[in-house]
Amino acid sequence: VRKLAPGASENVVIDTIAYGADGAVELTGRARPGEGGFVRAYLDNSDAGTASVDESGGWQMRLTDVLPRLYTL
């Protein structure tokens, strides 16, 4: 994982990248817990989704309509 945006958090971890039966990309990870915290995923520098960070620091995100090919996440 490479930090691309100035000011982006260095405290975000992607733990798993999986694929649902319908082909959706399923991401889970950890971030610094805190009220109103969120993580945002980008595919090839385009916003692909946002997930809230829970009180223990966990987050999960499901990306649908992602065509099979190589992406920069």
Residue 7: pLDDT over 80: no
What is the secondary structure of the chain as a DSSP string? ----STT--S--EEEEEEE-TTS-EEEEEE----TT-EEEEEETTEEEEEEE--TTSEEEEEE-S--SS----
The whole-model pTM stands at 0.80
Q: Which residue has the higher pLDDT, 23 or 6?
A: 23
18-65 confidence digits (pLDDT tens): 999 999 999 999 998 877 899 999 999 999 999 999 999 999 999 999
